[in-house]
């Protein structure tokens, strides 16, 4: 049973020390915090990480201001479990119902759970979330009335302001939800949503391909919104439908407004972009600009969003006291279900860098994601860190930064690592557990990586990704073989045993406690 709300307990000793701190030092404990959290953008998709055919200058600018991590991970290789782990500090595989959420999933993080947003709110921050949510809304899955407030929602878990897409761009309902309420809704044209059956008379991608401007390559053949067929069925709500070309502009605008509206007090903004998830529909400003089709164009659009945030912080003089974090929820995928020429126009570009696998996978490209922290006066500009790190630790790290003790039971898998995240210490995690789309686990210490035997296909043809699933144990020496080409489990049986035992200890117990 999870604890109820406890609030923040200041650490007696640190608050006593803090009383001797200078005003500047005090302020540097409480920077504004902005996450720019991409969707499906891989390690190799950004020019700061070596991409040659795509140029992302604003991300480069951020990297030059701060520390760029080469071995930082999302906790999982898909969106919902990654975001769950990041916001709760608990590995998603500990909790049922945290796989890729349907568009009508109920709230996965319930109000009694202490979240990262609660932490900031209790510390006196204004908290907001803008963008892709994908952690469910409402009390019961499939039973939400989308015409009424969707509660429990983001507000019940610490976000005072929200402007979100309920799930993903390819899942209905294709509407924005602001502070629990679908916006621009005409009461005479209510929204209906079903993930079970179509509404009689409504066209679908499957039956009416002639109505499509973008065709699915696999799945995505249900309700048609803006000429694009999606996952799930919806009817009505015409005035509330988003325009796909304007999603980046709308979300970035809301993120900028949030910053402007809170410029005189500390704020925490979780800005989760739709770029570069499918369906990839860049704005006219970026359409055709990358030469790589919509996927490349969406990478440029993402970079533009980053620039807008950085420019806003500079314009308002907030750049000096804002911690900006850029990362992605999971690794890259080229064909994720639409015929958008991503495969045909990929050329020499390697979205996962030198790493094997991709989104959905236990191999490195599944979770080794782009990651940058920038914080003027605290992080030395242009630092590169190879420390083994994970987004799951941001929660405890913020508690460390704010000098507050987390309520008992909160963020059980999160480790405070401020020194590593600010580039001051090379050592990262001792052990990190990673999760792929089939919930198979792997564990790494930075050198060795052990993939626990499990079910599921080795290769997912539809998306052309090796998933890492195998009935046999796998062991890779990431130092010698970062591309995970050689399974050396047979050569190092002792190491396999050690890693397997360590993984079971973490699975059975709570990391950080005596195991």
What is the Rg, in whole angstroms, of the alpha carbon atoms belonging to the chain? 22
Residue 25 tokens read as 């030092």
Instruction: Compose the 102-141 pattern: x for residues touching ligand NG6 by CB under 6 A, - for all others.
Output: --------------------------------x-------
Q: Which of 47, 56, 144, 168 binds ligand NG6 (CB under 6 A)?
A: 168
How many CB atoms lie under 10 A from the CB of residue 510?
14
Q: Are 59 and 324 in contact (CB under 8 A)?
A: no
Q: Which stretch binds ligand NG6 (CB under 6 A): 106-114, 214-222, 260-268, 440-448?
A: 214-222
280 part of the interface to ligand NG6, by CB under 6 A: no
278 part of the interface to ligand NG6, by CB under 6 A: yes
Side-chain half-sphere of 88: how many Cα atoms within 13 Å?
Answer: 25
456 part of the interface to ligand NG6, by CB under 6 A: no
Nearer to Ca ion, 103 or 407 (CB): 103
| DSSP-H helix ranges across 375-446 | 394-402, 418-421
Q: Is it true that the peptide bond before 279 is cis, omega within 30 degrees of 0?
A: yes
Q: Which stretch binds ligand NG6 (CB under 6 A): 59-67, 189-197, 213-221, 488-496?
A: 213-221
Side-chain half-sphere of 476: how many Cα atoms within 13 Å?
Answer: 21
CA distances from 88 to 267, 277, 413 (A): 19, 23, 9
Q: Which stretch binds ligand NG6 (CB under 6 A): 105-113, 184-192, 215-223, 318-326?
A: 215-223
219 part of the interface to ligand NG6, by CB under 6 A: yes
Minimum distance from residue 437 beta carbon to ligand NG6 (Å): 8
Q: Are 349 and 276 in contact (CB under 8 A)?
A: no
100 part of the interface to ligand NG6, by CB under 6 A: yes
Residue nearest to ligand NG6 (CB): 219
Minimum distance from residue 135 beta carbon to ligand NG6 (Å): 11
78 part of the interface to ligand NG6, by CB under 6 A: yes
Minimum distance from residue 499 beta carbon to Ca ion (Å): 27
**What whole-number distance in Å separates Cα of residue 512 and Cα of residue 62?**
32
- Residues binding ligand NG6: number (CB under 6 A): 17
79 part of the interface to ligand NG6, by CB under 6 A: yes
Contact of residue 49 among ligand NG6, Ca ion, none (CB under 5-8 Å per partner type) = none
Nearer to ligand NG6, 363 or 398 (CB): 363
Nearer to ligand NG6, 40 or 297 (CB): 40
Can you spell out the DSSP letters for 347-388? Answer: TT--TTTT-S--TT-SSGGGTB--EEEE-TTTSPTTEEE---
275 part of the interface to ligand NG6, by CB under 6 A: no
Q: What is the dihedral of CA 394, 397, 403, 405, to 10 degrees?
A: 80
Contact of residue 119 among ligand NG6, Ca ion, none (CB under 5-8 Å per partner type) = none
Minimum distance from residue 49 beta carbon to ligand NG6 (Å): 19
Interface with Ca ion (CB under 5 A): 39-40, 79, 329-330
498 part of the interface to ligand NG6, by CB under 6 A: no
**What whole-number distance in Å separates Cα of residue 238 and Cα of residue 225?**
9
Q: What is the DSSP letter of 107?
A: P
Residue 200 tokens read as 């009689």
**What whole-number distance in Å separates Cα of residue 82 and Cα of residue 87?**
9
Nearer to ligand NG6, 313 or 460 (CB): 460
230 part of the interface to ligand NG6, by CB under 6 A: no
Bridge partner residues of 322 (DSSP): 32
Q: Which stretch binds ligand NG6 (CB under 6 A): 15-23, 57-65, 296-304, 330-338?
A: 330-338
**What whole-number distance in Å separates Cα of residue 259 and Cα of residue 163?**
13
Minimum distance from residue 482 beta carbon to ligand NG6 (Å): 24
Q: Which of 94, 95, 218, 498 binds ligand NG6 (CB under 6 A)?
A: 218
Minimum distance from residue 40 beta carbon to Ca ion (Å): 4
229 part of the interface to ligand NG6, by CB under 6 A: no
Contact of residue 278 among ligand NG6, Ca ion, none (CB under 5-8 Å per partner type) = ligand NG6
Contact of residue 467 among ligand NG6, Ca ion, none (CB under 5-8 Å per partner type) = none
**What whole-number distance in Å separates Cα of residue 165 and Cα of residue 279?**
14
**What whole-number distance in Å separates Cα of residue 22 and Cα of residue 184?**
48
Q: Are 369 and 72 in contact (CB under 8 A)?
A: yes
**What whole-number distance in Å separates Cα of residue 164 and Cα of residue 255?**
11
Minimum distance from residue 75 beta carbon to ligand NG6 (Å): 13
Minimum distance from residue 69 beta carbon to ligand NG6 (Å): 21
Nearest to 439 by CA among 468, 412, 462, 414: 468
CA distance between the termini of the chain: 21
Contact of residue 68 among Ca ion, ligand NG6, none (CB under 5-8 Å per partner type) = none
Q: Are 475 and 499 in contact (CB under 8 A)?
A: yes
Query: Which positions from 37 through 66 interact with ligand NG6, judged by CB under 6 A?
Result: 39-40
Phi, psi values for residue 294, rounded to 5°:
-55, -30
Instruction: Compose the 333-362 pattern: x for residues touching ligand NG6 by CB under 6 A, - for all others.
Output: ---xx-------------------------
Q: Are 144 and 103 in contact (CB under 8 A)?
A: no
Minimum distance from residue 359 beta carbon to Ca ion (Å): 7
Site for ligand NG6, rule CB under 6 A: 39-40, 78-79, 100, 134, 168, 170, 218-220, 231, 277-278, 330, 336-337
């Amino acid at each position: 049973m999870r604890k109820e709300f406890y609030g923040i307990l200041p650490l007696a000793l640190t608050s006593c020390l803090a009383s001797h701190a200078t005003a500047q030092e005090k302020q540097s404990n409480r920077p504004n915090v902005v996450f720019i959290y991409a969707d499906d953008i891989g390690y190799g998709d950004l020019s700061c990480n070596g991409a040659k055919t795509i140029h992302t200058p604003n991300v480069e600018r951020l990297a030059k201001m701060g520390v760029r991590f080469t071995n930082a991970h999302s906790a999982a290789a898909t969106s919902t479990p990654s975001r769950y782990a990041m916001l709760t500090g608990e590995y998603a595989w500990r909790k049922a119902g945290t796989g890729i959420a349907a568009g009508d999933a109920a709230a996965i993080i319930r109000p009694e759970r202490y979240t990262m947003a609660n932490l900031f709110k209790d510390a006196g921050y204004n908290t907001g979330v803008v963008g892709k949510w994908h952690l469910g809304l409402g009390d019961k899955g499939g039973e939400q009335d989308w015409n009424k407030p969707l509660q429990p929602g983001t507000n019940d878990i610490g976000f005072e302001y929200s402007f979100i897409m309920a799930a993903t761009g390819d899942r209905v309902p294709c509407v924005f939800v602001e502070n629990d309420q679908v916006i621009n809704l005409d009461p005479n044209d209510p929204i209906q949503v079903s993930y079970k059956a179509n509404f009689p008379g409504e066209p679908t991608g499957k039956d009416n391909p002639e109505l499509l401007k973008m065709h699915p390559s696999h799945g995505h053949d249900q309700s048609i919104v803006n000429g694009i067929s999606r996952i799930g069925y919806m009817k009505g709500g015409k005035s509330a439908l988003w325009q796909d070309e304007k999603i980046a502009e709308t979300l970035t605008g809301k993120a900028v407004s949030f910053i402007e509206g809170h410029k005189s007090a500390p704020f925490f903004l979780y800005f989760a972009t739709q770029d570069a998830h499918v369906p990839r529909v860049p704005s006219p400003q970026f359409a055709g600009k990358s030469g790589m089709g919509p996927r490349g164009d969406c990478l440029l659009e993402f970079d533009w969003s980053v620039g807008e945030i950085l420019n806003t912080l500079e314009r308002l003089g907030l750049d000096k006291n804002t911690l900006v974090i850029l990362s992605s929820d999971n690794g890259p995928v080229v064909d994720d279900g639409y015929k958008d020429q991503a495969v045909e126009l990929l050329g020499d570009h390697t979205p996962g860098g030198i790493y094997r696998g991709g989104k959905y996978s236990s191999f490195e490209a599944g979770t080794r994601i782009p990651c940058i922290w920038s914080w003027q006066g605290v992080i030395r500009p242009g630092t590169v860190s190879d420390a083994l790190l994970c987004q799951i630790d941001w929660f405890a790290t913020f508690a460390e930064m704010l000098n507050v003790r987390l309520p008992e039971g909160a963020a059980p898998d999160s480790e405070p690592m401020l020194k590593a995240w600010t580039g001051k210490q090379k050592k990262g995690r001792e052990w990190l557990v990673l999760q792929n789309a089939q919930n198979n686990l792997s564990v790494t210490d930075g050198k060795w990586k052990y993939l626990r035997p499990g079910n599921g296909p080795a290769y997912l043809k539809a998306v052309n990704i090796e998933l890492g699933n195998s009935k046999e144990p796998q062991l890779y020496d990431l130092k010698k073989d970062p591309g995970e080409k050689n399974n050396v489990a047979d050569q190092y049986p002792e190491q396999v045993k050690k890693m397997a035992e360590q993984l079971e200890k973490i699975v059975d117990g709570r990391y950080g406690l005596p195991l």
